[in-house]
Amino acid sequence: MTITCDVLVVGAGPAGLSTALLLLKNGVSTVVLEKNKTPGPQQTSYDITEGSRIRKILNEMRIKPQKISSISEWFSLNHSYILDSKIEDYYFKRGPERDSIENVLLEKLLKKNVNVLFESHIDTLEIKKKEVTEVTVKTEHEKTTVKPKYIIGADGAESDLRKRLQIETSIFATFKGIGVVVDSKKQNEIPHAKIYFDEKLAPGGYIYSGSVCYKSFFCVVIDDIFSKEIKLQESLNRFLEQKVNGEITTKEYFGGIGTSGIHKNQVKNVLLVGGAALFYDPFLGYGLNYAIESGYYAAQTIIKNNIKMYNKYVKEIQQEIKEKYIAREIWRKADNKFFDKLVRSFNGKLNKDDDKINKILGLFGET
């Protein structure tokens, strides 16, 4: 079977599905390719991401976060601070359930009769004059030839498409995380995001928690350079023993990896977005906002047939990532004394004359 289309989207996560939906809303014929049986993560999880940069895009797609909050609470071992920020936190469910962001996007796509090929992967690429002209897609039982004008690479940080195109990468930071979803006794039991800094449990990272309806979630995120000495599930369970009152009877674990870096994100008729583009905040690890935003700009680039638009966007985001990487280097060396000093500085109880503290505070608009 041969399919001719305007765009082939490789990967059915938030980046790929957002791109496909925005293209279809503008009459661009699109095929979506996904290696798994379902879109997105294969287990239920929750994502908290900075929402201001994707508010208009979500409105255009008619997608609503499950919760929005401008308040977050920050903890060191000995101090705490409640931040009421102009930057809103958007909460999204991820994974196989019907109300996850992936399945909400997929449902909108299916209503437009889009061709989504699940349990499929790229077998071969035909390249002429450095442009991909044909993609052979292999499923368990058959092969399909897709002839697209453009290709969107949205297949995550370990992008197979990126590797096939032999695009070299410069990795800044890799995060590993493990979390647990538990039943709550009351609605929104954790009213806003709570972030904990502890060099023993989460070196180079943090622990976060939050609630959506009657589900609460807790996650330990660490910098990958510490992964040999830290067992994530042990760290998470130690944290739960210290901070959660009462017995947790239901546990649904989830995990993930996020990679931040830079590389060439547009090669002729191929545009890389989201994790495949290494668009991941190297400081706090936000990724879903970059996934949706990069998908939007990739779609606009194709709709307007203006590659320069995406190249300009990529340049701006990569510069932003480089600037935030300075904070990542500070965070890797931070100990609990530093975290105490940082949270006290949030409270205005220290003279903010420390360059390292000021760089961190600046990311929160606190300087």
pLDDT for residue 366: 54
pLDDT of residue 365: 59
DSSP 264-307: --EETTEEE-GGGGT---TTT---HHHHHHHHHHHHHHHHTT-H
**With pLDDT > 90 as the criterion, what percentage of the chain qualifies?**
72
pLDDT score of 124 more than 90: yes
pTM of the prediction? 0.92
Nearest to 355, CA basis, from 332, 320, 327: 327
Among 152-156, 195-199, 263-267, 350-354, whose mean pLDDT is lowest? 350-354
Helix (H, G, I), strand (E, B) or coil at 24: helix
What tens digit of pLDDT does each residue of 129-164 get? Answer: 888 999 999 987 889 999 999 999 999 999 999 999
Q: Starting from the edge strand earliest in sequence, which strands make up the sheet with 169-183, in order? A: 45-50, 80-94, 67-75, 193-196, 206-212, 215-223, 169-183, 252-263
Ranges 178-192, 232-246, 295-309, most confident = 295-309
Q: Give residue 356's pLDDT band: very low, low, confident or very high (50, 70, 90).
A: confident
Q: What percent of the chain has pLDDT over 70?
A: 96
* Domains in the chain: ranges and CATH: 2-64+94-171+260-326 (3.50.50.60)
Q: Would you list the DSSP string of 54-93?
A: GHHHHHHHT---SEEEEEEEEE-SS-EEEEEEEEEEEEEE
- Mean pLDDT computed over every residue of the chain: 91
- Is residue 362 over pLDDT 80? no
pLDDT in tens, 203-260: 999 999 999 999 999 999 999 999 888 899 999 999 988 877 656 666 788 998 999 9
Given a contact cutoff of 8 angstroms between Cβ atoms, the answer to whether 363 and 356 are in contact is: no
Displacement of CA 37 from its chain's centroid (Å): 20
Residue with tokens 């060191």: 76
What span, in angstroms and rounded, lies between the C-alpha atoms of 241 and 237? 6
Model pLDDT for residues 333-349, shown as the tens digit of each residue:
999 999 999 898 887 76
Region 25-33 average pLDDT:
95
Q: What is the mean pLDDT of residues 87-108?
A: 95
- What span, in angstroms and rounded, lies between the C-alpha atoms of 293 and 239? 33
Quickly state the pLDDT bin for 301 (edges 50, 70, 90): very high
